[in-house]
């Protein structure tokens, strides 16, 4: 039988996930738009593709964070 996850660890995981996703969005936006002339076409394409992927991870991290707050009894977290 599997032990339930510690809500504090889940909260930390969600926060780290969101921070890394925001960093990924910033880097991919810089590569895809203002600094595009410094990168090859393949790298620019990867930057464009990484943007919605990192946005999806940001949303998943937010859901994980909300679930942890709910498990901790903090129903006012947003």
pLDDT of residue 9: 95
At 31-71, the pLDDT tens digits run 999 999 999 999 999 999 999 999 999 999 999 999 999 99
Residue 18 has pLDDT above 80, yes or no: yes
pLDDT > 80? residue 20: yes
- DSSP code per residue over the chain: -PPPPPHHHHHHHHHHHHHHHHHHHHHHHHHHTTTGGGS-HHHHHHHHHHHHHHHHHHHHHHHHHHHHHHHTT-TT--
Q: Is the distance from CB of 24 to CB of 50 less than 8 angstroms? A: yes
Assigned token pair, 74 = 């903090």
Residue 5's pLDDT band, with cuts at 50, 70 and 90, is confident
Q: How confident is the model at residue 2 (pLDDT cuts 50, 70, 90)?
A: low
């Amino acid at each position: 039988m599997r032990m339930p996850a510690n809500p504090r660890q889940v909260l930390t995981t969600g926060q780290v996930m969101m921070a890394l996703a925001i960093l990924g969005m910033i880097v991919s936006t810089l590569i895809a738009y203002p600094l595009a002339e410094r990168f090859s076409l393949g790298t620019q394409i990867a930057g464009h593709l990484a943007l919605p992927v990192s946005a999806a991870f940001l949303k998943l991290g937010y859901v994980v964070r909300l679930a942890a707050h709910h498990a901790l009894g903090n129903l006012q977290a947003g």
